[in-house]
Chain A
Amino acid sequence: MPDLNIDGQPLRVADGTTVAAALMSVGDQCSRTSLGGQRRAPLCGMGICQECRVSIDGLRRLACQTLCRDGMRVETRP
């Protein structure tokens, strides 16, 4: 049961949970802010659309293709 942190909010999830699934259960459930200022959430769920790109421990990753690990810091806002 990894413990992670999404935009400053602590969260514990089941083993094998993707970061996309985790971030859709906290805060505004979004993953990024668009050029026009809209908040966006994961769309395709399978690594194509890039809507779920987030910063994980300082690196840009796709939330839907990344499994939650203990101590991860996920940021969805610039």
Chain B
Amino acid sequence: MSQHVELLILGAGPAGMSAALAAAPSGMTIAVLDDNPLPGGQIWRDGPQAHLPPQARDMRTQLEQHSNIQLHSATKVVALAGAKRLLLEDAERGWVLSYDKLILCTGARELLLPFPGWTLPGVTGAGGLQALIKGGLRVAGERVVVAGTGPLLLASAATAHLNGAKVQRIAEQASLASVSRFASGLWAWPSKALQAVGLRNSRYRTSAHVVQALGHDRLEAVRIRLGHREEEIPCERLACGFSLVPNVEIGQALGCQVVNRAIAVDQWQATGLADHYAAGECTGFGGSELALVEGRIAGLVAAGENDQARALWPERQRWQRFADRLNRAFALRPDIKQLARPDTLVCRCEDVPLSALTAHNGWTAAKLNTRCGMGACQGRICSTAAQTLFGWEPPSLRAPFTPARIATLVCLDEGGELS
């Protein structure tokens, strides 16, 4: 079976849901795809230990009520299958879906950077730990250290705390001056988030970063640098993330321009490619409020409602200013790029250490000589790390974009589903 829709939306987070709901009154046939089992993206991830805000529940209900919106959860984009055609795969089948217009709402992932011990079980991303807890991971009574940069550290620590973990330290690499300048803005997150994790217990430190995760078979302690001194904190978990990077791979493979690691869009959320739009974190990290309004604009424009879309520009501009402020405040300090030692693995799929990469002058040479980036994650972790550490620009991703079944790839030949 091959399927056709007038509007395809990749990603069912705030931007994708918002785009679908904005376009739905037009009567267009709409498909929304997401690789997670439930809609909501990362910020509104549902699960046995998740607490969804009313807005997220309301939007999910509305999605279900529109008969012209089909939601395909747990579905991945495997490859391009010709002009305006994508090869998809879910748990049961592979198939080709064609579209007239596409909105990329592929979100962002955490920037995970190598440091000694980061491959030890017990070490996760900061958002990673939060996602795992929402998904049912029990952390009651465990000692947790949160490290890296950005507001996500506080959100992650709050989730761990609310689920009974003992948060030992929150190490923010940005300086107190940077964080204070940001916090003195209009946005209400710092006071609320800091209260939630008990900042008065003084666990939060600025100009602080992870140096090493220690342990034999799993994490036993974390070494943190605080200014000029170091501390060693025994713990069961380290949640470490260095803010977010946009998921641009599918947009880039389609031919959309990528500038500063984000899909470039104009004021209509249009990419340079006709009938292809992008909204939310894949166009630059800015939080869920910005993603919601960008998604709404993209959905309206895709439905031909440009006047309604234009009316939302001031709101988008307001949230964009917050996003700019946030990105300035949490810019990475140079010493964060020096954490890995020669024997620290950079590519976790192919077990390639830093020392094997430094002999090369670019990503392609490193990849061809070391197998770095040739494993299951297709370089999503290590090429992003190499880009941050060495300034190596990753090339466009080649299909399959994600590990897929042979039976799915065969659909490319047949132009339809393999039954």
Contact = CB atoms under 8 A, between A and B. Distances in A.
Given A29-B121, A44-B112, A18 B35 contact: no
A72 B351 CA distance: 30
Given A46-B127, A65-B37, A21 B132 contact: yes
A17 B135 contact: yes
Q: Is the interface of B mostly helix, strand, loop or mixed?
A: loop
A43 B138 contact: no
Interface of B: 35-37, 42, 46-48, 74, 91, 109-110, 112, 119, 121-125, 127-133, 135-138, 217-218, 348-351, 375-377, 380-381, 403, 405
Q: Give 5 closest A-B pairs by Cβ, nearest first.
A: A17-B136, A45-B131, A45-B128, A18-B135, A41-B121
B136 A45 contact: no
Contact of B136 (A18, A35, A44): A18
Interface residues of A, number: 39
A16 B376 contact: no
Interface of A: 13-18, 20-22, 24-25, 28-30, 34-36, 38-51, 53, 59-61, 64-67
Contacts of A22: 136
Contact of B381 (A40, A47, A48, A53): A48
A28 B121 contact: yes
Given A29-B218, A44-B112, A46-B128, A14 B37 contact: no
A22 B135 CA distance: 9
Contacts of A51: 348
Most chain A CB neighbours (cut-off 10 Å) among B123, B127, B128, B217: B128
Given A44-B381, A45-B124, A46-B109, 20 more contacts: A13-B136, A25-B138, A28-B217, A29-B218, A30-B121, A34-B119, A40-B348, A43-B128, A43-B381, A44-B131, A45-B125, A45-B130, A48-B377, A49-B381, A51-B348, A53-B403, A64-B135, A65-B37, A65-B74, A66-B74
